[in-house]
Amino acid sequence: MTLARWPNVGEWERTAGFPTNTAQGDDHGGKIGALASGFYFAGDRPRRWLRHDDLWVHGYWAWDWANSYERVEALDLWTSA
């Protein structure tokens, strides 16, 4: 069985940002978000999901050579970037 994924076609979604008050330096003059602080997403599609208790995200969270899967601890549907 194919696992559910979003978006189903086309390019991958990009994060809409991260809390800047907990950002840290990336050693190259930029900033990266702290994993524990989470990230913002754009759009309202997650509001239509029936379940939010077993969500996972996959991404290149800081560097383009290091990807990982992370379990979503909490989903705040009402906070926007």
pLDDT digits (tens, 9 = 90+) for 15-51: 888 999 999 998 888 898 888 888 888 888 888 888 8
Answer yes or no: is 5 within a domain.
no
Answer yes or no: is 9 within a domain.
no
Answer yes or no: is 37 within a domain.
yes
Q: How far apart are CA 63 and CA 22, in angstroms?
A: 18
Q: For residue range 45-79, list pLDDT tens digits in order.
A: 888 888 888 999 888 887 888 899 999 999 888 76
Answer yes or no: is 11 within a domain.
no
Q: How far apart are CA 11 and CA 68, in angstroms?
A: 18
**Helical spans, DSSP H, in the chain:** none
Answer yes or no: is 24 within a domain.
yes
Q: Is the pLDDT of residue 9 over 80?
A: no
What pLDDT was estimated at residue 21?
92
Domain membership of residue 42 as a residue range = 20-71
Q: Is the pLDDT of residue 81 over 70?
A: no
Number of domains the chain is built from:
1
Answer yes or no: is 26 within a domain.
yes
